[in-house]
């Protein structure tokens, strides 16, 4: 078996497969050997990704449902909003894995290895990757394995978690509008936190209900599930079956994951800080980052030069600081944002695509006192 590769991608999840897919579509890499290592076969439907788009992107064929309208509910603002030119979309993990792997399997220079990685070491001129079965080397390594202990041990950047449990339910009678996705429903009891229900109906009788928090600590599983049960009861939905469940814990932090990059090793996905710190959204940011990274890899430059901080990094930093200190302000902050700004501006802001003038309009629409405190706290700390 081959033991040296031009590129080794560690992790066959969203960032790893998206990066490999983009490399496979670029003729520059046709003569490069690429290995993807993951201990999982990635065949289960272990997660769903949702995102908004105004134009179809590379994984459009895997989209399982689309919503032209989103619902937002909070004590200060509630509405159902048509989001054209955007569409809110959902991709099932199993569909994404199957699509990407089937395409990559047609490329003879790309291979897969299902083993557990135990060590990564950079040496002069190469990187050594050790698995439970063997030792491999590569010119460059793209690592998507997130080390949460690194995040937990640091104190410079606040760390929240987007955590949730979801029920995929089926009702006996039609009760849902499959055209409307409930983006955030903050009318659930907040209990001193930032808590909301997220609802994705895919037919008149099928929907995903996720009880979600942006907070420091996880809950007992029963608390999430009791909240979903009460929410359904309050909606008059009493006769239903639970078809499946999902659970997640996504890191929300502006910690500089990229500072762990080296000349020949780059961290990607959540391990590289590609998760949007203020929302936990990862999918669209991964599509963008991988496109930029592919072009960067072609230059052969030191991988430490890839990541650059932008003003959007600072916006995320301040919001996480505010919610870390006063977690109960989540509902009024997001409520004022949706009340005082058109949805397309909000989406472009969260996609890091707004102009500075538009960003000032959004910032001015939010509760100002706590953000001013966060700014001065950061300036004093720096």
CATH of 160-252 given 3.30.70, 3.30.43, 1.10.8, 1.20.144:
3.30.70
Residue with tokens 């700004």: 341
Query: What is the arithmetic mean of pLDDT over 101-111?
Result: 97
Helix axes 283-297, 14-24, angle to 10 degrees: 40
Higher pLDDT, 75 or 150: 75
Condensed to tens digits (0 to 9), the pLDDT of residues 330-355 reads 999 999 999 999 999 999 999 999 99
CA distance 181 to 90: 10
What are the structural domain ranges in the chain? 4-56+92-153+254-305, 160-252, 311-381
Rounded average pLDDT over 197-203 = 98
Written in H, E and C, the secondary structure of the chain is CCCEEEEEEECCCHHHHHHHHHHHCCHHHHHCCEEEECCCCCCCCCCEEEEEECCCCCCHHHEEEEECEEEEECCCCEEEEECCCCEEEEEEHHHHHHHHHHHHCCCCCEEEECCCEEEEEEECCEEEEEECCCEEEEEEEEECCCCHHHHHHCCCCCCEEEEEEEEEEEECCCCCCCCEEEEEECCCCCCCCEEEEEEEEEECCEEEEEEEEEECCCCCHHHHHHHHHHHHHHCCCCCEEEEEEEEEEEEECCCCHHHHCCCCEEECHHHHCCCCCCCCCCHHHHHHHHHHHHHHHCCCCCHHHCCCCCHHHHHHHHHHHHHHHCHHHHHHHHHHHHHHCCHHHHHHHHCCCCCHHHHHHHHHHCCHHHHHHHHHHHHHHC
pLDDT tens digit string along 140-173?
Answer: 999 999 888 888 888 888 899 999 999 999 999 9
pLDDT in tens, 36-60: 999 999 988 888 999 999 999 999 9
The domains spanning 4-56+92-153+254-305 and 160-252 adopt the same CATH topology: no
Band of residue 314 on the pLDDT scale cut at 50, 70, 90: very high
Per residue in 224-243, pLDDT tens?
999 999 999 999 999 999 99
Q: In percent, how much of the chain has pLDDT > 70?
A: 99
Q: Which CATH class is domain 4-56+92-153+254-305?
A: alpha beta
CA separation (Å) from 177 to 68, 180, 186, 200, 241?
11, 6, 19, 9, 18
Provide, rounded to the nearest whole percent, the portion of the chain with pLDDT above 90. 88
Mean pLDDT of the chain: 95
Residue 381: per-residue pLDDT = 64
Considering only 181-185, 269-273, 377-381, which range has the smallest mean pLDDT? 377-381
Per-residue pLDDT, averaged over 71-94, amounts to 96
Burial (Cβ within 10 Å: 0-12, 13-18, ≥19) of residue 289: buried
**Residue written as token pair 């690429």:** 34
pLDDT of residue 113: 97
pLDDT for residue 380 is more than 80: no
């Amino acid at each position: 078996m081959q033991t040296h590769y031009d590129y080794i991608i560690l992790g066959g999840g969203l960032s790893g497969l998206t990066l490999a897919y983009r490399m496979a579509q670029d003729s520059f890499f046709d003569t490069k050997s690429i290995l993807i290592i993951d201990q999982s076969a990635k065949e289960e439907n272990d997660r769903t990704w949702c995102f908004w788009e105004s134009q179809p992107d590379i994984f459009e064929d895997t989209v399982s449902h689309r919503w032209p309208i989103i619902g937002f509910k909070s004590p200060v603002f509630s509405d159902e909003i048509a989001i054209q030119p955007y569409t809110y979309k959902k991709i099932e993990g199993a569909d994404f894995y199957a699509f990407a792997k089937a395409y990559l399997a047609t490329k003879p220079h790309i291979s897969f290895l299902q083993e557990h990685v135990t060590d990564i070491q950079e040496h002069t001129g190469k990187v050594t990757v050790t698995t439970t079965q063997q030792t491999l080397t590569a010119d460059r390594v793209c690592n998507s394995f997130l080390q949460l202990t690194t995040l937990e041990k640091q104190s410079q950047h606040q760390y929240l978690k987007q955590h949730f449990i979801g029920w995929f339910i089926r009702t006996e009678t039609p009760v849902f509008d499959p055209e409307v996705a409930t983006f955030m429903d903050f009318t659930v009891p907040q209990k001193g936190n930032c808590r909301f229900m997220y609802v994705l109906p895919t037919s008149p009788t099928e929907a995903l209900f996720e009880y979600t928090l942006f907070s420091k600590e996880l809950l007992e599983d029963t608390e999430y599930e009791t909240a979903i049960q009460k929410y359904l009861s309050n909606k008059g939905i009493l006769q239903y079956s639970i078809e499946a469940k999902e659970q997640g814990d996504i890191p929300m932090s502006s910690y500089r994951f990229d500072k762990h990059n080296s000349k020949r090793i780059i961290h990607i996905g959540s391990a590289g800080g590609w998760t949007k710190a203020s929302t936990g959204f990862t999918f669209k940011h991964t599509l963008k980052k991988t496109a930029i990274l592919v072009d960067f890899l072609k230059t052969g430059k030191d991988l430490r030069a890839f990541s650059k901080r932008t003003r959007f990094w600072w916006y995320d930093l301040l919001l996480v600081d505010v919610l870390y200190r006063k977690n109960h302000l989540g509902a009024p902050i997001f409520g004022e944002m949706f009340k005082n700004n058109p949805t397309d501006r909000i989406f472009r802001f969260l996609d890091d695509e707004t102009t500075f003038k538009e960003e000032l309009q959004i910032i001015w629409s939010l509760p100002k006192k706590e953000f001013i405190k966060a700014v001065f706290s950061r300036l004093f700390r720096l």
